[in-house]
Chain A
């Protein structure tokens, strides 16, 4: 299933500005094994991938069958109103991997992503690895890491009843869960709560991240977009 292909940025506006600002804080590296081809020791391979990723400080990691480093909890009690833990738990993601899935690591800077890719190349896990990012940045990463690109898939943006889509800032946030689990209404509500000073941008980003079932939501980029949407200096 496609889950990171159509992350909206100004480049995909129907009438884009002449030189939209490049996206420089959203790089996803993900791995996927194929049945009967390279799925031997698959749990170890996936765990190895994510352990290597953690060395480069990803802003989120995820297992597509279980979720990301921030997940909803089914066992909360009333003290959650005042004492809720908001810390991501990457070790829980790694420990929870059981079998076939896609694992992903999200970075908010090129250098970290590139260093991770270099390590992956050396580790030679044997599973398929993809970068989901601006195409030119992924190409540059391959050059820097001495990798020859195998295949490419381009996102061509949205067609049809685009009038039904929310505004650009909301889309930038909601499409960070490519499966559409993050509702545009919830995104708008959270941005409003930040404007009303009921929550901080970091808290709002974390509420959103919990709805992304693959763990590819970029919490750091979300915070930046929320600040911008609220025109906040703080």
Chain B
């Protein structure tokens, strides 16, 4: 992301809005600037802020005068008053930042395959995770910390050693040069992103071992990891995962419950 110095009036609103803290007002030039190495191209500033289209020269003059009288400039805090935030053209490998950070990016535009699966959200019609199996979503960087691919690789390589199976229709897997060893493409390792989700599937009885390994690996990375684990319930609606998680000392307080209301309708009508 870039800020147009001709338009920016240094109101400072975008500074707090950036989840990565990548924007600051440069006192030398009196404009907001984006630290390109820290910016993950999430578009929270560009899309999340409302925009007025005020004349920058006029706004600067008003602000200058107000400052003389020590008036407080109190604009709406989620507005860029002069529409000064401008997306830039992204080339490889920087484009992976947007692919993993902007939830609304048109995915095909980034050249990365897979969007991540619907996990168990559509399990009632896809049967992705069956009874006796566990699906893991291991997420790096959220909330609000961000991560670089080299940290993700540290974990995927270690998980590969455990013999886990990486979900093929997943963007991180699509960037692996060697999925059997969990190794990622070398040219993206330094790229910073808001978050990436690694998806793996194991047998249910492997859950404690995988969780312990992830816990240990958490000490070796420079970011936060959040973990979700799923399974299919039995015919009575019971699941054997909860007890297992509690025995391992996890809170497992909240999560998602698939109600099983989905069914095949396309084929029925054909």
Contact = CB atoms under 8 A, between A and B. Distances in A.
Contacts of B239: 149, 152
Interface residues of A, number: 93
Nearest to B269: A40
Interface in A49-82: 64-65, 72-78, 80-81
Given A38-B266, A72-B47, A154-B255, A160 B260 contact: no
Contacts of A77: 52-53
A132 B44 CA distance: 24
In this complex, the interface size class of chain B, counting residues with CB under 8 Å from chain A, is 35 or more
B262 A127 contact: yes
B204 interface: no
Contact of B235 (A127, A148, A155): A148
Contacts of A12: 251, 253
Contact of A211 (B44, B51, B143): B44
Contact of A80 (B79, B235, B260): B79
Given A1-B115, A76-B79, A135-B253, A154 B230 contact: yes
Interface stretch (A87-95, A171-179, A219-227): A171-179
Interface stretch (B87-95, B156-164, B178-186, B216-224): B216-224
A69 to B, nearest CB: 15
A11 B48 CA distance: 30
Contacts, number: 332
B18 A1 contact: no
Interface in B60-114: 74-79, 83, 103-104
Given A84-B76, A160-B225, A180-B143, A150 B123 contact: yes
B123 A6 contact: no
A99 B228 CA distance: 28
Interface stretch (B1-9, B26-34, B124-132): B124-132
A149 B260 contact: yes
A11 B42 CA distance: 29
A211 B78 contact: yes
Interface in A124-167: 124-135, 138-139, 142, 147-162, 164-166
Contacts of B260: 147-151
B122 interface: yes
Contact of A2 (B54, B79, B197, B219): B197
A124 B18 contact: no
A148 B233 contact: yes
A37 interface: yes
Nearest to A210: B78
Contacts of B19: 180-184
A147 B252 contact: no
A185 B230 contact: no
Given A37-B264, A154-B242, 7 more contacts: A11-B254, A32-B118, A40-B266, A133-B257, A151-B129, A160-B218, A171-B143
8 contacts: A3-B103, A72-B47, A72-B48, A126-B262, A128-B262, A157-B226, A181-B48, A207-B78
Going nearest first, the 9 A-B pairs with the smallest beta carbon separation are A150-B260, A153-B230, A128-B262, A159-B218, A160-B218, A11-B253, A138-B257, A149-B237, A151-B120
